[in-house]
Structure 1
């Protein structure tokens, strides 16, 4: 009877140890993901990124960010930011404070100092329809 109890206690101790180690690894990965998310948001908020976004919006609408443009203002949706599996940062830009007018972006580094200028990777159908009307 003593051997059964000892085996049960050893098994229980091993199980508890495995659960504790697993929990620690999970918590560390969660913390790492949070830090990575915060770093991506800081990159997207940078002045250089802002210039690239605005250049991309002006490629869609030559009068963007003026009172004559279809795209009059924009805001980055920070909740949408995620790491692209191929590198870079994906996210979306909300245009004119309208959640249906969306521009998708992929922010990549061209080299150590500069972002790739082709940042816009798509836009919503609603925005496409408005942009078609400016030609």
Structure 2
């Protein structure tokens, strides 16, 4: 009598374990698919144009020899999905990891169709903010 109870308990535990592994695996695969899709969007030509326009809004001479922002690199390891919608894309400026701009890329949905990609917000590190202020003051003199 006692043996049957143990066998039933073992079967229930095995089935529960299999279900948990299946659910966890499915969630992990969905996460990988989402990451892949975000990187695909960030690598697109449209995203490049939007990000460069955002840089030029911060520094009119961006990506030129006269600008504070001479180059940028997308930090693909730190791209994240924003809980409020969109993709958080960090840009490393001039190869210096202390000079970072965090952009929030998003798309509006118009009548069920995706609109254009845009920057919802952009945050700079303190160091970059100070450099940009100095650049603006120098250009006004």
Q: TM over 0.5, yes or no?
A: yes
Residue 115 of structure 1 corresponds to which residue in structure 2? 117
Question: Out of 96, 103, 106, which is 2:104 matched to?
Answer: 106
Q: Secondary structure at the match of 2:135?
A: coil
**Alignment RMSD (CA, Å):** 1.1
Q: Secondary structure at the match of 2:63?
A: coil
* TM-score under structure 2 length normalisation: 0.90
* TM-score under structure 1 length normalisation: 0.93
Cα 1:120–1:53 shift into 2, 3 Å: farther
The size of the alignment, in residue pairs, is 132
Rounded to whole Å, the distance in 1 between the matches of 2:108 and 2:58 is 21
Residue 124 of structure 1 corresponds to which residue in structure 2? 125
Alignment of 1:28-107 (within 5 A): 28-107=26-105
- Of the two structures, which has the highest relative contact order with CA contacts closer than 8 Å and spacing of 6 or more? 1
Rounded to whole Å, the distance in 2 between the matches of 1:59 and 1:120 is 12
Q: Secondary structure at the match of 2:33?
A: helix
- Structure 2: state its 5+ residue gaps: 137-141
Residue 22 of structure 1 corresponds to which residue in structure 2? 20
Contact 1:53/1:119 (CA < 8 Å) preserved in 2? no
Q: Secondary structure at the match of 1:134?
A: helix
Query: Which runs of at least 4 in structure 1 moved beyond 6 Å after TM superposition?
Result: none
